Amino acid sequence: MKPTVVLGLAIASLLSGCLHVQRPATLTLAHGASTDAVARALTLAGHPPLEVNASMGLVSTDWRDTGYRYGAVDGQYATLVRRYLAVVSPSGVLTLRADLKQCPVGGFTIGGVTVRGTCQAVDGVPESMQADLDALASEVGQALRSQTGATATMSP
């Protein structure tokens, strides 16, 4: 690889921003929450789920390319792809988090619940995506309150 390309990728990584520890959103629902209710709430918020596993209390949305450029994978500029995961506990606690992967631009495909390509899991989250998660949790909480009449409290 040419030194100018490597230098360009290093600069792109520095300019693409820092990742922070993700703060999953936690909502406590007074009357509990079903995965079906969470799936409807995510749909109302614009993120319809692709998988709902009621026995495990899991709901996941589709993967989407965020267009957020972050670093490089295999010497190519990379973008972050994201899906949302919701876990409903038997006690009525809903935890919502973002699942992120770093994929080479043009070097991956999304097929339902699968991302194909040389993508890498990302542990942190850009601050703008944390704000997206917080906003989604607020919308989901509001939708659950209106659907079930339950009191939803969001924890920081």
| Mean pLDDT, all residues of the chain | 85
Per domain, the residue ranges of the chain are 3-155
Phi, psi for 4 (deg, rounded to 5): -70, -35
What does the pLDDT read at residue 18?
84
Residue 48 and residue 59 in contact, taking contact as beta carbons nearer than 8 Å:
no
Going from the C-alpha of 112 to that of each of 7, 16, 50, the distances in angstroms are 35, 27, 7
What does the pLDDT read at residue 49?
96
Question: How far is it between the farthest Cα atoms of the chain?
Answer: 61
Cα pseudo-dihedral 65, 68, 72, 76, rounded to 10: 60
pLDDT tens-digit map of 83-112: 999 999 988 889 999 999 999 999 999 987
pTM across the whole model: 0.83
Chosen CATH of 3-155 out of 3.40.630.30, 3.30.530.50, 3.30.1490.120, 3.30.70.890: 3.30.530.50
pLDDT tens-digit map of 18-33: 889 999 999 887 665 6
Residue for token digits 């390309």? Answer: 5
What does the pLDDT read at residue 22?
94
Tell which wins on pLDDT, 17 or 83: 83
What does the pLDDT read at residue 33?
65
